[in-house]
Amino acid sequence: MTIYSLYIYDRHCTCVYYQDWHRTKLPKPAAEGGILPAVSHQVYPQPQQDTISTSDPISTYSSPRNTLSSSSGVVVAVNEEQRTTTPQPPQAQSGLSFDEEAKLVYGVVLSLRNMIKKLSGKDEQFVNYKTSTYKLHLYETLSGYKFVMLSDPNADSLRFVLRQIYSGPFLEYVVRNPLVKMDSKERGIDNEYFRTSTDRMIRGLSVFQ
Amino acid sequence: MATTSKQYKVIGEELWKGRAEKTNAELFALTYGALVVQLIQDYEDYEEVNKQLEKMGYNIGTRLIEDFLARSNIGRCVDFRETGEVVAKVGFKSFLNITPSVTHGGLPIAASPTRSSTASPAPTIPGATFTLTLDENPLAEFVELPEEALEGGLWFSNILCGVLRGALEMVRILTALCLSKFTYHSSDSNAGHGYVYLRCVARGRNDRDQSHPCQVSRGRSSRRR
């Protein structure tokens, strides 16, 4: 069992944060202007490839932090911006660029949620759904933030984890961080502390292996 | 879903007790006083100071609500009445350790709420307003406003207004600020005692973001000593 990825959406339906762990197919970087800055530098549109990376197109897409998620390595320090000198094993890439992917995830969540509300007519909540290959978990705050997590289909409900992220790292490093502009429609909420502590929390879970 | 106001009181008290970091009330009051004085010096205009305080409060409120939601685990309010109860019993209690008394009231139909300060005239929408009366105001612990500031129209605790507006707006209860002379007069009878009145008026819905019901409300506050 494992956890694949985490998306956070704000009230304006835009993706403000993205992180992934055991994803087999990495997302293609978003198209220029497709996503806000500071969502995840891993999928942020790359500047024009410089001479080094043109020879090895894969290295353009593998962020320094991706080395952490390689299953073989030992994590020494997470805060370090590790520059990988050794070429990474070629990783499969999904055919979808990240901005498209983020929109799709949001679309699924929103339509399902609305459908469920229409069917029941009450303030019923959509918690998760499962396919043969993954399970999608949703936690929505009253203020309109949506935390979406994709995990192994056999995982239990991870709603509590999403809530923990909200009341833990999110509160501490985003809400209480005056340097993070919330609700700005201009920037995401990515920052080193938030990413590290979320990462630590997820890695500490028993479902994460 | 009938969470009574007593239950809210319990929730508020538990939240206050469970809060790890607390600030010294005196330090808090003095810092806030210094802030207001600084604003007055910078702007030299009480109207502008009121505006700035409200704006600061708004920015605080938009973030404070996340803290509130994450800790309190309270669901969406059914109506504006309940909102008033939650704001007073849980919100104020958990952040400031005070519980303002709530008075629910109606809103006169098709009248500007600014003027309708006297006992409500003819037809009203029930439960569309609430007034919070702060018997003790932690912001104004040692404050004695000079006559000049009073006459200039300084609303010392205007920041509360902004906080409330910001916080409610984030849960899609749109708020606008309504300032009237009303509370000045009414607090005259309590001269020498610090009272703050916050008046919230539900006015409409905000369907801008998504399909959630919400109301526009107006808050007002003033204080006098």
* Interacting residues of A138 by C-beta distance below 8 A, sequence separation 6+: A109, A113, A126, A127, A128, A146, A147, A148, A159, A162
A chain contacts of residue B63, beta-carbon cutoff 8 Å: 175-176, 182
Largest CA distance in chain A: 58
pLDDT of residue A54: 38
Q: Is B119 on the interface with A (CB under 8 A)?
A: no
β-sheet bridge partners, residue B30: none
User: Shortest CA distance to A194 belongs to which of A174, A164, A180?
Assistant: A174
Give A170's contacts in chain B (Cβ within 8 Å). 66, 70
Q: CB burial class (10 A; 0-12, 13-18, 19+) of residue A193?
A: middle
- The number of beta carbons lying within 10 Å of the beta carbon of residue A48 is 6
Average pLDDT, chain A: 76
* CATH (residue range A3-203): 3.30.450.70
Among B62, B172, B210, the residue with its CB nearest the CB of A183 is B62
Residue B38's alpha-carbon distances to A155, B23, B224, in angstroms, are 55, 21, 19
Taken in order of first residue, the domains within chain B and their CATH numbers are: 5-224 (3.30.1380.20)
- The pLDDT value recorded for residue B113 is 47
Chain A nearest C-alpha distance from B157 (Å):
23
Of B160, B31, B149, B196, residue with least CA distance to B87: B160
> pLDDT tens, position by position, for chain B (225 residues)?
456 778 888 888 888 888 878 888 889 989 999 999 999 999 988 889 988 998 999 899 989 999 999 888 888 877 778 888 888 888 888 888 888 888 887 666 654 444 444 444 456 666 677 778 777 778 877 777 788 887 888 888 888 888 888 888 888 665 554 443 333 333 433 333 345 566 666 654 443 333 233 333 333 333 332
Which candidate in A143, A162, A174 is best for mutational testing of the B interface (most B CBs within 10 A)? A143
Residues of chain A positioned with their CB less than 8 A from the CB of B210: 11, 144
- Whether residues A176 and B63 touch (CB distance < 8 A) is answered with yes
Nearest to A167 among B70, B171, B172 (CB): B70
pLDDT for res B164 = 85
Q: Residue A55: what pLDDT? A: 38
Asked if residue A129 has pLDDT above 60, the reply is: yes
pLDDT value of position A51: 41
With beta carbons less than 8 A apart as the criterion, state whether B91 and B68 touch: yes
Measured between its terminal Cα atoms, the distance across chain B in Å is 40
B20 touches chain A (CB under 8 A): no
**Does the ipTM exceed 0.85?**
no
Instruction: State whether B170 and A144 contact (CB < 8 Å).
Output: yes
